[in-house]
Amino acid sequence: VTAHFCRKILEGVGIRSDRLALDWASAAEAPLYVALITNFTKHIKELGPLGKADGLSGEELSSRLSVARSAVKSVKLRTRFARLTQALREANDYSPQLIESKMAENFDQAILREMEKQEKLLSEAGVGVQHIGESIDDNKA
């Protein structure tokens, strides 16, 4: 669910969702872990640097990322996200199919709406500056 949530948000700001990988490997699965890391590294190298490869300027990229970050912090979305986790736990079924269908049911649309809202907020100059400021602060910290 977490991965799905993040991927949707990345897509929303125009970043390829395959730049995020989430997988499981136990301590006894060293070869699997190596394969996961090697493949992901190879894949990201092929894609090229974040932003540049997709034709985004540094400024554009950082504003988009701050939209994404705000969206992840949104109480509305986080509530839906948590409710969804709870539903999966109650059903005791974590199959990708169920996650997909549950997400489509009442989550995907909400993500899109939230992203629009955040973008709008950002485009209103004052707020935008504040957000960019925030992200710079974060980087400095």
Partner 1 sequence: LVEAGRSPNINIITMAELVSVAGEARDFTAKVRRLPRYVDENLCTACGTCADYCPSPIRDDYNEGLSFIRAIHIDYQQAIPPAFYVDREACLFLSRQECKQCERVCLAKAIDFKQAPQEIHISVGAIVLAPGFGRIAGRVLAKYGYETCSDVITGIEFERLTSASGPTMGDIIRPSDHQHPKSIAFLQCIGSRDLASGNGYCSSVCCMYAIKEALVAKEHAPDTSIAIFYMDMRTQGKEFDDARLRAKEKGIRFVRSRFGGIRKTDGALEIKYVSEEGQHFKESFDMVVLPEGLESPESAASLARVAGIELNHYDFCKTNIFSPLETSHQGILVAGAFQSPKDVPESVIDASGAAALVSEALSQVRNTRVETKIYPDEIEIDETPRIGVFVCSCGSNIGGVVDVPAVARYAATLKDVVFIDTNLYSCAQNTQELITEKIRANGLNRVVVAACTPRTHEPLFQETLKNAGLNRALFEMANIRDHCSWVHSHLPKESTEKAKDQVRMAVAKARLLRSFPEQSLPVCPRALVVGGGISGMTAALSIAKQGFECFLVERSSQLGGNLRNICFVLNGDDPEALLEKTTKEAMSNDLIHIYTDASVEGVSGYVGNFTTTIRTKEGIEAVDHGVIVVATGGEAYKPTQYLYGTSKQVITQLELEKMLADPDRAQQINDIVMIQCVGSRGQDLSYCSKVCCGQAVKNALRILEHTPLANIVILYRDMRTYGFMEDYYSLSREKGVTFIHFNREMPPVVAEESGKLSVEFFDTLLGETVVLDPQYLVLSVGIVPAGARGLAKILKTPLTKDGFFLEAHPKLRPVEFSVDGIFLCGLAHSPKPIPESIVQAKAAAGKACIPLTKGSVAVEPIVSAVDQEACIGCGICEKLCPYAAVRIVKAGKKRKAETIPASCKGCGICAAHCPTMAIYMGRFSTEQIMAQITACGKKGLQ
Residues that bind partner 1 (CB under 8 A): 2, 28-31, 73, 75-76, 78-79, 81-83, 85-86, 89, 138-139, 141
| C-beta of residue 16 within 8 angstroms of C-beta of residue 6 | no
Q: What is d(CA 72, CA 9) in angstroms, rounded to the nearest whole number? A: 8
Tokens 């990229």 correspond to 61
Closest approach of Cβ 109 to partner 1, in Å? 18
- 8 A C-beta contact, residue 70 and residue 118: yes
Cα separation, 7 vs 113, whole angstroms: 15
CB closer to partner 1, 29 vs 124: 29
Q: How far is the CB of 34 from partner 1 (least distance, A)?
A: 10
Tell me which amino acid residue 119 is: E
Smaller CB separation from partner 1, 16 or 69: 69
Sequence-ordered list of residues with C-beta below 8 angstroms from that of 6, at least 6 positions apart, any chain: 20, 72
Provide, rounded to whole angstroms, the least separation between the CB of residue 35 and partner 1. 13
Least distance to partner 1 from the beta carbon of 23, Å?
16
- Which residue lies nearer to partner 1 by CB, 2 or 101? 2
Q: Residue 125 or 141: which CB sits closer to partner 1?
A: 141
